[in-house]
Amino acid sequence: MGASAKQHLARELSSRVADGDVIGVGTGTTVEAVLTAIQERIVEESLRVHCVPTSYQSAWRLEELGLPVSSPALATQLDWAFDGADEVDEDLRLLKGRGAALLHEKIIAARTSRLFIVVDEGKLVSRLGSLMAVPVEVIPEARFTAAESLRALGASEVELRWCTALERTVPLYTQEGNLLLDATFSEIPRELEQEINRIPGVVENGIFTDSATEILVGTDSGVTFRKR
């Protein structure tokens, strides 16, 4: 996403902040641009805002900006939340999880009635799953049995996600110490999200069927909106 598109999105979302808001904060570079704009409003207008992050990365960035951070473990109700997405289809269904924070992102999505998704036009798809596989977070003990079950649900490929650390290629572990399986499906029907979550050992998956309230699409010239 270009810098100007990020700035348009940042200005739009920061304008929605109200004094006393408790805001769920997603993860990613666009999210960081929004946080900077929110911080500027807080300083200029002396607003009282608390933020609940979806990852350590977001929590650290909030701390750097001097924004009050509330633990996701607290029972605080969120006034609204914002996050990015890897894919958005015409029904406002999302595919997320390239950043490996999908579990906490889905928990935050479940705690608010207003979830705003910020993307660029390249993330808009006619068929969910056309750009990436479905990330599935599993406990390590379920790696092989969960992969078999995903194939039984129709996945053509199931790959363990790897990363590079200290010049070695090792399995990528999530914030909760789980593994990620990337499952490729030719079609993603509405029921697939729940079918995957019923597999023993699966913690969560990257399909967000009914979570998004509004999609904000950033372009070089401004922001367009898609609402339910």
> What are the structural domain ranges in the chain?
3-123+209-219, 134-206
Is the separation of the CB atoms in 137 and 104 below 8 Å?
no
Count helices and strands in the chain by DSSP H and E runs:
6, 15
Domain covering 134-206 in this structure, CATH number = 3.30.70.260
Domain 3-123+209-219 has CATH 3.40.50.300: no
Catalytic residues: 105
Is it the case that residue 1 has pLDDT exceeding 80?
Answer: no
Q: What is the pLDDT of residues 28-78, one digit of tens each?
A: 888 888 999 999 999 999 999 999 999 999 999 999 999 999 988 887 889
> What stretch of H or E contains 183?
strand 179-184
What is the pTM assigned to this prediction? Answer: 0.95
Tell me 228's DSSP state. Answer: -
Q: What is the pLDDT of residues 120-174, one digit of tens each?
A: 999 999 999 999 999 999 999 999 999 999 999 999 999 999 999 888 999 999 9
Bridge partners, 218 (sequence order): 120, 223
- Rounded-to-10 torsion of CA 39, 42, 48, 51: -10
